[in-house]
Amino acid sequence: MSGSEVLPTRRPRRAERSGRQRAGRPTVCLLAALLAFGVRPLRADDPKEILRRAIVLDSEESKLRKQYTYIERDEERKLDRAGKVASRESKTWDVTQLDGRQFRSLIQQNDKPLTPKELQQEEERKQKIAAQRRKNAARRAKETPEQRDERQAKAHRQDEEDARQIIDAFDLRLLPDEQIDGMPVWVVEGTPRKGYQFKNGDLRFFGKLQGRIWISKSDYQPVKIEAESIDTIAFGGIVARVQKGARLHVEFTRVNSEVWLPKHFSVTFNARLLVVKGFHQEEDITYSNYKKFSAESRIVDDQQ
């Protein structure tokens, strides 16, 4: 249903997206929008207010997340009609800093080091992205303080509006409290509200999701997320369709006693591309080796 950005970026850049296109993969950064923004007096029995408080605190931690490097291993498994694994492929990424922002470098394919040719291709991709980032930085440097503030405020207002629309689209209820690894958590369940109309058409697919989020009582941060599609979700018109029954699971871990970061992400779905090619796929992502970036650096504004 909802959550925190799995990795702590807001919108993927085109240059970086080209290296990790995945048809039908629900993004946790969008699922995060199920938490609405705003602070109100908290009632312990009000799931909407618990989620509102969670997103406020989550946004305050976003800069901390960007200061961490880590290893990300992505495994994609194609399944046959019986649900058995027909093929698998994995990629391992070293997520570091490049010009003050996170950058994903491919370091292994199918758990094997890259070939010299692949290393060269990866270096060329890195240099291309670095050049684009410098170009964008130069453009931003020409902004007046007023222009920068307005640009950032506009993006912030849009994020708030999107979050409000999404949370209003769900009927929320608080389930009995649980514990995860000895930690007391709230459990909030959300189901789509019948007849709700999104002002932003790009958010309509949220009306076809239901799920639960586990939130730490000590600091209002997401600890686990589970979601399921209850209807077919279309992306790009007829380009891709994810069938009813797609399932998402996300787990987070506390790092350095200061920030929550993703530990495990998995999704299973049936999809069809261009109304012709259908496939059944699982994706499993693990995150490890978190380290705070220690060299002197400046975490720059995400917007380009």
pLDDT mean values, one per 10 residues, the chain (304 residues): 36 38 38 36 70 72 84 94 90 91 94 96 95 91 91 86 84 94 93 90 88 92 93 75 91 91 93 72 95 58 40
Exposure on the CB side of residue 23, measured as CA atoms within 13 A: 20
pTM: 0.77
Token digits of residue 109: 């394919």
pLDDT of residue 236: 67
Token digits of residue 60: 């305050």
CA separation for the pair 94, 70 (Å, rounded): 6
**160 burial class (0-12, 13-18, 19+ CB within 10 angstroms)?**
middle
pLDDT of residue 127: 95
CA separation for the pair 276, 50 (Å, rounded): 43
pLDDT of residue 238: 61
CA separation for the pair 214, 224 (Å, rounded): 5
pLDDT of residue 203: 87
CA separation for the pair 5, 222 (Å, rounded): 10
pLDDT of residue 171: 93
Inter-residue contact 41 to 48 (CB < 8 Å):
no
Find where tokens 């380290």 sit.
Answer: 291
What backbone phi and psi angles, to 5 degrees, belong to 10? -95, -55
